[in-house]
Structure 1
Amino acid sequence: MSIAFVFPGQGSQAVGMGKALADAFPSAKAVFDEVDAALGQKLSTVMWDGPDTELTLTANAQPALMAVSVAVMRVLESEHGITLAKNASFVAGHSLGEYSALAAAGTFSLADTARLLRIRGDAMQAAVPPGQGAMAALLGVDFATAAAIAAEAAQGEVCQAANDNSDGQVVLSGAKAAIDRACEIAKAKGVKRAVILPVSAPFHCALMQPAADAMAEALAKVKINAPVVPVIANVVAGPVTDPAAIKNNLVAQVTGTVRWRECVGFMAAQGVKVFVEAGSGKVLTGLAKKNAPEAVAMAAGSPDEIAALAQHLKG
């Protein structure tokens, strides 16, 4: 049974996430303690007690989501003997989740990953002044049509496909006026829905170039190991194990498209039969069911879900 572990991105955060894991498992609590120490902040308090407005801040949400994902993997190992090296064919993560995947696969230390995501969150937030950028989800549209809508709407401004999540769900990102135009064009072309997203910055577009530069500088200063299993990188939708390529892909990912539909499709084509979403929420579980309907998709974020997963994998 070929298994892939996938790791959620921003938007999957929720106050209280990871608390049940920390209460039940010392291996999970150790993860949150180490992230708190690496950041010099009680991020775990924000995660468990809120307020939601503070947890949602990009600079907090990114390391927080990673911490929950890594805690899940540590519990799977400590309680059930399930490891990536032994049990997984691939790992992949959606946007910031790629860092979670790399941390789980031993490419970065936990402390370095937390610090990288704090830098990434701060840099992405600072790249575009509030109100100047926007993102919109186009529903009921394929990628080629969405990309054409973005090109038509640009009119000299930045407007590009940021997330190719599934057939029927593509997110555009760019200058606010261009995104507003894209929504009108989409409606005129009969797209089912065009929804402005409640995000604080226009992620995964050319406006994020200052953040890409910041990540190039930060990644040059950390130790990058080869992962224990291939990572399916967002920007190439294929397997990567070379540390230099991993670094280059992470820099490109800040301004590039998250090719999630293709990432899941690649893994399914390689024989993956089970997709496990390790961390908070069930967004990627839903997308796996759309992108690889013949596979099993399971979420593992709570003690009960982890137990159910372990039972399934052993069964």
Structure 2
Amino acid sequence: MRLYAMLFPGQEKQKKNVLLSLIKKYKIIKQTFDESSEYVGHNLYKLVDNSSQQEMDKSKYTKLITLTISVAMYRLWQQKNRNIPVILSGHSLGEYSALVCAESLKFCDAIKLIILRDKFMKESMKHKLGAMNVIIGLKQFKIEKILKKFNIIKEVSIACINTYNQIVISGEKCAVYKVSSACQKIGAKKIFRLSINPPSHCMLMIEASKKLSTILKHISFKIPIFPIVNNVDVKCETSAHAIRSALTRQLYNPVRWSEIITYLSNKYVSMFIELGLNNTLTNLNKSTIAIPSISPNNTVNFYQRF
């Protein structure tokens, strides 16, 4: 018997044509987009249908589309399969998708939180320019040494530990470039910028986290029906207080993805299922564990196979 772990991506580029074909092919996905559009007050399906790929990538609704497609694909999984996951986890914003699918957080509340979270983050960067860079080929401790050497930990933070040698740094633009340049000099194989703004999981988001914490106090959380491994502690929390705390601290702490995948593999999981339009997490996981990790939209007849 296979034991499935469901993984939910964070902000990522949406494949317009793939998304449109899924909405047209599966009623449950169209229904989920209709539901999300009602909560948002904007027709997300029409946005996708009428926008170019470039316009969609820059849309203020991109994060909400990611949440919606992840929830929709999970609902499709439920409809097509008797197999249920034994555990869930989401990368960054994907943690909200996991909470919705584990019936801990209402879909409408997740949408509200993501909208406000983004608003508070933008307010924190009102007088600053931010950036997020991916550093490939250097281990975490070497990047930490550079941050301490320049004494700019408040301006630049390690945002995501995706694999042992793929680290994302986030923060004030000039400081991020300064650290990136130093990383290149000591052997980083590749450095590239993420088109994510404002920068997340960094110390610049402390004020945003305080505002989010105030909102979270008024949001109801139930005990998840599946365990969810959170980003900041690599723990499965069940109390509303602990879940709120983790979501608050996530804004200025790193996503410990490599540790999460190792933790999940030690729970005797035999397959990872990534519920998103890309295979971002699937590709990352190959560097960490040998357990199969697949994404539905890159697998022929996926929903008929399981």
TM-score normalized with structure 1 length = 0.90
2:75 matched to which residue of 1? 74
1:21 matched to which residue of 2? 22
What displacement does 1:170 show? 0.0
What displacement does 1:162 show? 0.2
2:302 matched to which residue of 1? 308
Checking the alignment, whether the CA contact within 8 Å between 1:59 and 1:119 is kept in structure 2 is no
Paired residue secondary structure (1:165): strand
Paired residue secondary structure (1:196): strand
Instruction: Label 1:287 to 1:225 Cα distance change in 2 as closer, same or farther (>3 A).
Output: same
Q: 1:219 aligns with which of 209, 216, 227?
A: 216
Paired residue secondary structure (1:150): helix
Q: Aligned pair count?
A: 305
1:295 matched to which residue of 2? 291
Gaps of 5+ in 2: none
What displacement does 1:210 show? 2.9
1:271 matched to which residue of 2? 268
- 2: CA distance between counterparts of 1:143 and 1:8? 22
Q: 1:145 aligns with which of 142, 147, 160?
A: 142
Instruction: Label 1:245 to 1:296 Cα distance change in 2 as closer, same or farther (>3 A).
Output: same
TM-score normalized with structure 2 length = 0.92
Matches within 5 A, 1:42-81: 42-57=43-58, 59-81=60-82
1:165 matched to which residue of 2? 162
Instruction: Label 1:260 to 1:156 Cα distance change in 2 as closer, same or farther (>3 A).
Output: closer
What displacement does 1:124 show? 2.1
- CA RMSD for the aligned pairs? 2.0
What displacement does 1:301 show? 4.0
Checking the alignment, whether the CA contact within 8 Å between 2:271 and 2:291 is kept in structure 1 is yes
1:256 matched to which residue of 2? 253
Instruction: Label 1:122 to 1:275 Cα distance change in 2 as closer, same or farther (>3 A).
Output: same
2:189 matched to which residue of 1? 192
User: Is residue 50 of structure 2 the alignment partner of residue 38 of structure 1?
Assistant: no
Instruction: Label 1:122 to 1:45 Cα distance change in 2 as closer, same or farther (>3 A).
Output: farther
Checking the alignment, whether the CA contact within 8 Å between 1:16 and 1:49 is kept in structure 2 is no
Instruction: Label 1:309 to 1:30 Cα distance change in 2 as closer, same or farther (>3 A).
Output: closer
Amino acid at match of 2:217: A
- 2: CA distance between counterparts of 1:97 and 1:136? 19
Percent identity of paired positions between Structure 1 and Structure 2? 25
Greater shift, 280-289 or 71-80, is seen at: 71-80
User: Is residue 136 of structure 2 the alignment partner of residue 135 of structure 1?
Assistant: no
Checking the alignment, whether the CA contact within 8 Å between 1:39 and 1:114 is kept in structure 2 is yes
Matches within 5 A, 1:67-106: 67-82=68-83, 87-106=84-103
Checking the alignment, whether the CA contact within 8 Å between 2:80 and 2:304 is kept in structure 1 is no
What displacement does 1:59 show? 4.0
What displacement does 1:90 show? 1.0
Gaps of 5+ in 1: none
What displacement does 1:151 show? 2.7
Paired residue secondary structure (2:42): coil
Paired residue secondary structure (1:255): coil
- 2: CA distance between counterparts of 1:49 and 1:131? 33
What displacement does 1:63 show? 1.2
What displacement does 1:214 show? 2.7
Checking the alignment, whether the CA contact within 8 Å between 2:140 and 2:161 is kept in structure 1 is yes
- 2: CA distance between counterparts of 1:301 and 1:121? 28
Paired residue secondary structure (2:277): coil
What displacement does 1:291 show? 1.4
- 2: CA distance between counterparts of 1:145 and 1:110? 40
- 2: CA distance between counterparts of 1:52 and 1:209? 33
Instruction: Label 1:131 to 1:152 Cα distance change in 2 as closer, same or farther (>3 A).
Output: same
Question: In the TM superposition, what whole-angstrom CA distance separates every residue of 1:1-37 from its partner, at most 9, and x where no partner exists?
Answer: 2210000111242334532222122222111011000
- 2: CA distance between counterparts of 1:29 and 1:131? 39
